[in-house]
Amino acid sequence: MKMVSLLKKNKAYLAMLFTQFVYAGMALLSKAAIAKGMNPYVFVVYRQMFASIALSPFAFFDSKQAAPLSYNLLCKIFLVSLVGLTLSANLYYVAINYTSATFAAASTNTIPSITFIMATIIRVESISLKHMHGMAKILGSIMSLCGAIIFGLVKGPSIHFMDWHSSARQQNLLTAFHSKGDSIKGALMMLSANTGFIVKQYPAKFRLTTLQCFFSCIQTIILAVTLERNPSAWKLGWDIQLLSVAYCGVIVTGITYWLQVCTIEEKGPVFTAMFTPLALVITAVFSVVLWRETLQWGSIGGTILLVVGLYVVLWGKNRESEKGQSQEDMQQTKEETRLECIIQT
């Protein structure tokens, strides 16, 4: 009974730990599938197809739909799917061919910073230089992006801490050597892949995500057929490629999304984002052990800067939310006091 009670009490923490292991697996398996020759555009088609199927039961039982879908909203969802899923996913899987699984996991830590910058550009969010939380978000965003750039481009001396790695130091098992230009291109594409938009008007989250995956599947089929004319590229065998697309579609987009929605509703978005660096650590460890990826001091320095920047941004967001809630409570108290005075009068 004590064990059950303990699990219930810490279910949000366990859910986020599981989620980060899942995301680490996504980076590792995706890198393996692309490195083994799978076309990245075809990969996205199969991933979105599996995701649509996996999310369909959740969408069917999602009873939070406030109103039927209008033509205008469907067009918005289609455009958001094009930018937030189709473009983003294709950039991610093309870029992972030029970068490592560890950098792919590291780049997800820049999402809060990129979201803040995008929101500021389109004037959804304002920059407050008069308050600590505003300065924290600006400074954290700069640190996070600089850390990601350093991680991807500044290598430095290798960290040789495992003797059995000596035979594999010349070349990673999955990554061929790329030119400096390819490395820069891969890093920039990977960072761009973390840019996206959301639709806030539609409250049924699972139905919305299922629609986005479905629209993205159609869009990626058109893109993949245009760019990949070889029929053999579409064949899936009982190998790492099938495992990878099924894993990314069913486990990552299906089960993990449900866990994140539940955790965000209970603990809030800042709580879930705090666990993001864990996926980077897990990916780095397994990349070294399984794929014989060599860690370098430049990457370590970039990681530290990136993670510190992430937590600075999250601190600023949390501080801003607390201040906004406090002001709202004060305003509510004033209104209640004013109402009492009117009643007494």
Question: What percent of the residues of the chain are helix, what percent strand, and what percent coil, each to the nearest 5?
Answer: 75, 0, 25
Distance from CA of residue 27 to its chain's centroid?
11
Averaged over 189-194, what is the pLDDT? 73
What CA–CA distance (Å, rounded) separates 258 from 22?
Answer: 13
Across residues 78-88, what is the average pLDDT?
88
Nearest Cα to Cα of residue 80 among 261, 255, 209, 248:
209
Range with the poorest average pLDDT among 153-157, 216-220, 265-269, 337-341: 337-341
Per-residue pLDDT tens over the stretch 272-315 = 888 888 888 898 888 888 777 777 888 888 888 989 988 888 88
| pLDDT tens digits for range 152-185 | 777 777 776 544 444 444 455 555 555 556 667 6
Cα separation of 106 and 152, whole Å? 9
Helix or strand run (H / E) with residue 16: helix 11-35
> Are the C-beta atoms of 312 and 143 separated by less than 8 Å?
yes
Does position 334 have pLDDT exceeding 50, yes or no? no
Average pLDDT value for the chain? 79
**Confidence tier at 242 by pLDDT (50, 70, 90):** very high
**12-43: pLDDT as tens digits:** 888 889 999 999 999 999 999 998 889 999 99
Percent of the chain with pLDDT over 90: 20
Q: What is the pLDDT of residue 145?
A: 85
Inform me whether the pLDDT recorded for 327 exceeds 70. Answer: no
Percent over 70 (pLDDT), the chain: 78
Q: What is the mean pLDDT of residues 104-109?
A: 84
For residue 221, name the pLDDT band (cuts at 50, 70, 90): very high
User: Given a cut of 80, is residue 196 above it in pLDDT?
Assistant: no
State the average pLDDT over residues 177-196: 66
Count of CB atoms situated within 10 Å of the CB of 122: 9
The residues spanned by each domain of the chain are 14-159+171-344
